[in-house]
């Protein structure tokens, strides 16, 4: 049986996109990216929606870059990925499968069949699992910006008691907050 983790970068006001849907403001520093790599190393399966897949797919063909980026590209390549979308006809990336409709029951089956961490990525894809209390761990990377609008990291209607189990401050003012269900 695996562990289900939701990880997200957000603004201080809890947004993952600005009002126009942009995420360019959320690029991590090398220090934070190295920390993310350490957390992602435990992931065996990444479950994501169509938009997150479109954003992260760049790692399939990542050009030579910094050492921290190359490390993440290697971790990405070694991780099984499930794209949840009823609008995509197919996916063609290595180690990637398509799940037309993700339900909480199906996500629970994926977690039960996985040794290690299943990372569900994207606030829309993770919303039902967060509301239902299926998520074991929440990793939030809070950047020192206020966006004033955009998509929330956590869904409305979520009521879950959490325990802070880890935190870290980065040189650029970003903060990592690691929670588990209480």
pLDDT band at 64, cuts 50/70/90? low
Q: Which residue has the tokens 């409305």?
A: 156
Per the prediction, the chain carries an average pLDDT of 93
What's the predicted TM-score (pTM) here? 0.93
Residue-level pLDDT at 93: 84
DSSP code, position 28: P
State yes or no: pLDDT of 62 exceeds 80. Answer: no
Q: Is residue 63 over pLDDT 80? A: no
Q: In terms of Cα–Cα distance, which of 123, 122, 173 is closest to 145?
A: 173
53 pLDDT band (50/70/90 cuts)? confident
Q: What is the mean pLDDT of residues 147-169?
A: 96
Of the listed ranges 3-7, 54-58, 141-145, the one predicted with least confidence: 54-58
Domains and CATH numbers, the chain: 3-181 (3.40.430.10)
Q: How confident is the model at residue 65 (pLDDT cuts 50, 70, 90)?
A: confident
101-156 tens-digit pLDDT: 899 999 999 999 999 999 999 999 999 999 999 999 999 999 999 999 999 999 99
Asked whether 37 and 68 are in contact (CB, 8 A), the reply is yes
pLDDT at 59: 81
Question: 98 near 90, Cβ under 8 Å?
Answer: yes
Task: For residues 7 and 119, give the distance between their C-alpha atoms in angstroms, rounded to a whole number.
Answer: 7
The share of the chain scoring above pLDDT 70, in percent, equals 99
The continuous run of DSSP H or E covering 6 comes out as strand 3-11
């Amino acid at each position: 049986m695996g562990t289900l983790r939701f990880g997200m970068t957000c603004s201080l006001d809890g947004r993952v996109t600005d009002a126009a849907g942009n995420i360019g403001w959320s690029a991590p520093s090398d220090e934070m990216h190295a920390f993310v790599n350490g957390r992602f190393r435990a992931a065996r399966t990444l479950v994501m929606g169509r938009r997150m897949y479109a954003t992260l797919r760049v790692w399939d063909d990542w050009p030579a870059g910094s050492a921290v980026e190359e490390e993440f590209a290697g971790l990405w390549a070694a991780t099984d990925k499930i794209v949840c979308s009823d609008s995509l006809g197919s996916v063609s990336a290595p180690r990637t499968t398509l799940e037309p409709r993700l339900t909480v029951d199906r996500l629970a089956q994926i977690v039960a069949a996985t040794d290690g961490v299943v990372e569900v990525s994207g606030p829309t894809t993770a919303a039902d699992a967060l509301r239902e209390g299926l998520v074991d761990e929440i990793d939030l990377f809070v950047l020192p910006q206020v966006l004033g609008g955009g998509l929330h990291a956590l869904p409305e209607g979520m009521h879950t008691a959490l325990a802070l189990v880890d935190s870290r401050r980065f040189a650029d003012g970003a903060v990592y907050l690691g929670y588990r269900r209480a």
